Amino acid sequence: MRTLVIVVAAALIAFPAAAQDKSVQLKKGPGLDKVEGNCQACHTLAYIPMNSPFLNGAGWDAEVTKMIKAYGAPIDDADAKAIADYLKKNYGI
């Protein structure tokens, strides 16, 4: 019974959070499709504007590399470059 209560509580918390992810509107530009297609498979796109005040071009390059090397994001080299370029142009400091 306790497990059922935990599962139900987790679902009630998760569903509103998932619904909020759809409201994140990133800036339009080349590479946005690669960001949406690759990044949100693992996390909310809200992390992008949330981290933008702290990351310059080198910081975004490092973030994309970290997602691939440390977290195992299955992003090919061409998409990784497009993602990094998009982030640097639209959200870099």
The predicted structure's pLDDT at residue 29: 97
| Cβ neighbours of residue 64 closer than 8 Å, sequence gap 6 or more | 75, 80, 83, 84, 87
> Can you list the residues of the chain whose pLDDT is less than 50?
4, 8, 19-20
CA distances from 35 to 9, 11, 24, 80 (A): 31, 27, 12, 9
Given 2.60.40.60, 3.40.50.300, 1.10.760.10, 3.40.50.2300, which CATH number is that of 25-91?
Answer: 1.10.760.10
pTM of structure: 0.75
The predicted structure's pLDDT at residue 14: 56
Ordered by start, the domain boundaries in the chain are: 25-91
The predicted structure's pLDDT at residue 1: 64
